[in-house]
Structure 1
Amino acid sequence: MKFKPLILIAFIVALACFACKNNDYSPKPKGYFRIEFPKKAYTEFNKPVPYQFKFPVYATLEKDQSRDARANWYNLHFKQFNGYLHLTYYDVSGKGEYNQMVEDARKLAFKHTIKASAIDQRIINYPKQKVYGIYYAIEGNTASSVQFFLTDSAKHYFRGALYFNERPQFDSIAPVVKFIKTDIDTLISTFRWKN
């Protein structure tokens, strides 16, 4: 009987010693899965439309099936990253729509100002190919991270917008956005009008 209180005291002392070993009481940050990026490789987009470009082989080219979709609208589906690059095209020759389209692209990019920490604009200028436009890099917890438009300033207008089917958390998707931005840069630099 004399040993029971002594065993109880020894157990409590041992427990106290082991409990005090780790003095770090701060909460641990959430962890994210490691993202495996595919090797960069590109293929030619060459459908019967007025434009062509190169796009990554790990993205699936899909015809846009939305309610407002037109004949020359496509989506690049980055299935591994649950994201889409929506691509729309308009023939603006003789319709007086060009200035309105450029203004709409600006409004759609700056619509994200509420959540964006920065919106950087870059001029796109490839005079040999008659490809001009503006590239909007949108940072922060926004629905879209990249938007751009390309035009020949006379007949053609092409727009792209990158969206992920996830709740925006810029810090967690930043590596993916950086990876896909390289693909978008390749799309733009290889972009050509067919006529």
Structure 2
Amino acid sequence: MKPTLRIRPYRLALYALLCLVAGSAGYSCRRQYTPKPDGYFRIDPYPDSYRRTTLLEPALSFEVPEGTVETLDHDTTRHHGGVQWLNIRFPRYRATLYCSYHPLRGNLDRLLDESRELVYRQSIRPEAVQAGTYENDSLHIYATLYDLSAASVTPLQFIATDSVRYLLRGSVYFDEPGKSDSIAPVVGYLSDHIAHLIESIETPAR
């Protein structure tokens, strides 16, 4: 009798698997590869929980999200004219909001002009800069939030003043440059946080 190939029952599953792998390998060699679009990590916003920071003098305070880290910049070379620097770190976004506090001594118009010039100089598309304004007549707070686009080195900047005693200026910078598509949601989150910061500014009564 002519011998025949026999497959023992306990080896049947292994044999079928080997046949399947071999067939798939042959098919994959003939299949055309289609590149997939870039993917980005999901970055969730900070929760809607805020705390008040009072690091700036004289007693200018505002609210920042829980989870941020505020530090005063003690570089004395930049503290001329009573200017103070406060860095607000957003670890989750790998971004920092650099703020400077400027006492007003007849220099409001100059500071406003400098701030606007800085905004449009740092934007890659000056004609596309968007500006949102905020006014609180009862607290004498007037502010502008500039959106320079996610592709700019500093996508968000703001100025806030009571027009008599101080001007507060801020700029957002990311730790490392990224594609505008990947950081656009984060820029949106930061814009909301800065709007809240502006709306929560408190100063001693005049």
TM-score range for the pair, normalised by the shorter chain length: 0.7 to 0.9
Over 2 Å off, 4+ runs: 14-17, 19-23, 65-72, 112-118
The equivalent of 1:86 in structure 2 is: 98
Answer 1 or 2: which has greater strand percent.
1
Cα distance change of structure 1 residues 100 and 48 upon mapping to structure 2, 3 Å threshold = closer
Q: CA RMSD in A?
A: 2.5
Identity of aligned residues (%): 27
TM-score, length-scaled by structure 1: 0.81
Q: Aligned-pair distance for 1:161?
A: 0.9
Amino acid paired to 2:37: P
Shift of 1:114: 2.8
Larger gyration radius, structure 1 or structure 2: 2
1:39 aligns with 2:51: no
CA distance in 1 between partners of 2:66 and 2:150 (Å): 28
CA displacement 1:122-178 (0-9 Å, x = unmatched): 222111110012211111411111111111112211111111111142211111111
Between the aligned partners of 1:15 and 1:186, the Cα distance in structure 2 is: 56
Alignment-derived partner of residue 194 in structure 2: 184
TM-score relative to the length of structure 2: 0.77
Displacement of 1:17 in angstroms is 6.2
Which of structures 1 and 2 has the larger relative contact order (alpha carbons within 8 angstroms, sep 6+)? Answer: 1
| d(CA) in 2 for partners of 1:116, 1:66 | 31
CA contact (8 A) 1:45 1:54 kept: yes
CA–CA distance in structure 1, aligned partners of residues 169 and 178 of structure 2: 22
Aligned residue among 59, 64, 67 for 1:55: 64
**Structure 2: stretches of 5+ with no match in the other structure:** 1-22
Q: Which runs of 5+ in 1 are unaligned?
A: 1-13
